[in-house]
Structure formats: structure tokens, C-alpha cells
Structure 1
Amino acid sequence: MTERSAVFDAEAGPDSPNLDVRRSHPPIDRVFDVLAARRQVVDCLARRGETVAFESLVTSVAATRMDIEPVALSEADRESTRHALHHSHLPKLVDKGIVEFDRETETVAPGPRLGIVAASLEAVEELTPQ
């Protein structure tokens, strides 16, 4: 059964014909939640179009997030990003089929949904004022 919540007109009561019933968490909201802090991973893999070493992804994401050159990253910057990717970001992206993470070889590859997600993010960015 789908979870639902009621949204009412400002002047309407619960018995009003203007009752608007919507799902409380539409699927698109869950997708954007997953992508909110993970856009750099999607961007990196979409740009490269191939499997990347986990440590290379760590460097790319950390440098992009901090808006600095990779050579300027401290080990603390890398460790913080490494931890976030390993324990939070990658598992959620894997769960949605956006990336594939091989823990044994420490590599990250595009998943079956990476292309559509990257294209969607690009479309959103085009609509965003600079």
C-alpha cells in the first residue's frame, strides 16, 4: 500500500472537494535525495565512461568538492571523502543501479542507470541560473 498524505487548500477543510491527495515521498524525491551529495561521482564516471580506481575517484571527488587542484589535497581531505564514499555514497548509488563498486578490486564502474541519471543532472544544471 502506498503511503499517502493529504494536502489542503489554505481555505479548504478536510471535507472540501479541493482535497489534493499525493504520495508523501514520490520516487523522484528519493532519487534526488540519493544524488544530492553524490553528483561528483556521477559526473566523474560519466565523463570518463569507464571503470575507475576507487582512490582515483576519491581524489577527483575531493578536489571537485573543495574546488582545489588534486595536488593541494591533504590526507585528511582524502580520508574524509574516502570514508563518505565507502560507507554512504557508493552503497546508495549501487542500490539504485547508478554505479557498480567492486570491493575486491577497489574499482567503481558505470551502472546500468548512470547514463540516464547523468543526462537528467545535466538537464537540471542547464535550467539553473549561473
Structure 2
Amino acid sequence: MYEALGHARQRYICYTLLEDTEWSLTELATKIAAWENTIPEHEVREDQREAVYVSLYHAHVPKLVDEGVIAYDEATETITTAEHADQVLAALEGIGGSLDSYQETHARSEMNDRED
């Protein structure tokens, strides 16, 4: 559990999985770049998105795949939930605020915006 939730970008991926169980790597990179730069998604520059994308592709996605939290389809560059996702997502909901309350607030506010 700690390995999956130990890094802010990995937690953010998990928060997005609470919203929807399938994401393209580009969508995730855009969302995370917006969050990290405190800007709306439409203002994310290509260099910001690319920096996050590279980090996700080479470090964070493989880590979450190894932990069984997500599955990654190389052909479509899409992540989906995997066998251990429910456990990690339940833990994230239970302890999210103590890990990073700003990140949780940001992720959940976007979820609420989509529901409206």
C-alpha cells in the first residue's frame, strides 16, 4: 500500500481512478501538470505535459503496474484498474487527507465539477 501511495504523482493517478477507471497517459499527464502548476488544464503548456508524461511513463505507471494497482496497454497508452486497485483506492479514501490534503481537495473538486 505504501509503495503505491508513497509518491504524490502515484496518489494523483489513484485519485483519478476514483473518478473514472480508464485514462490515457496524455490525459493523466495534462491533469497532473495542471495540478502541479496550479493552472487549468487548458493552460498546460506542451513542455509541462511532456515532463510529467515522461515521469509517468518511465517511473510511476510501471510502479503501479508492478503493484497490481493499474494495467497499462502499451498500444493505446491507456491505464485501467487492476486486481489490487480496490484495496489501494479504499485506503486512499480512508487516509487521503492525511497524505496530502491539497492534492485530495484538488482531485475531488475536479470529480465534483464533472458530476455537475
TM over 0.5: yes
Query: C-alpha distance in 1, partners of 2:6/2:25?
Result: 20
Please give the TM-score of this superposition, normalised by the length of structure 1: 0.68
Query: C-alpha distance in 2, partners of 1:128/1:100?
Result: 24
Identity of aligned residues (%): 28
Q: Is the 8 A contact 1:52 1:108 kept in 2?
A: yes
Query: C-alpha distance in 1, partners of 2:14/2:72?
Result: 13
CA shift for structure 1 position 114: 1.3
Aligned ranges 1:1-130 → 2 under 5 Å: 31-37=1-7, 38-48=10-20, 50-126=21-97
CA shift for structure 1 position 33: 3.6
Query: C-alpha distance in 1, partners of 2:100/2:22?
Result: 32
Q: Is the 8 A contact 2:4 2:11 kept in 1?
A: no
CA shift for structure 1 position 85: 0.3
Structure with larger Rg: 1
Query: C-alpha distance in 1, partners of 2:100/2:70?
Result: 28
Please give the TM-score of this superposition, normalised by the length of structure 2: 0.75
Query: Which structure features the higher share of helix residues?
Result: 2
- Secondary structure at the counterpart of residue 29 of structure 2: helix
Query: Which structure features the higher share of strand residues?
Result: 1
* Inter-CA distance 128–104: structure 2 relative to 1 (3 Å threshold): closer
CA RMSD of aligned residues (A): 2.0
Runs of 4+ residues over 4 Å off in structure 1: 126-130
More displaced, 62-71 or 103-112? 62-71
Q: Is the 8 A contact 1:42 1:118 kept in 2?
A: yes
Unaligned regions of 5+ residues in structure 2, if any? Answer: 102-116
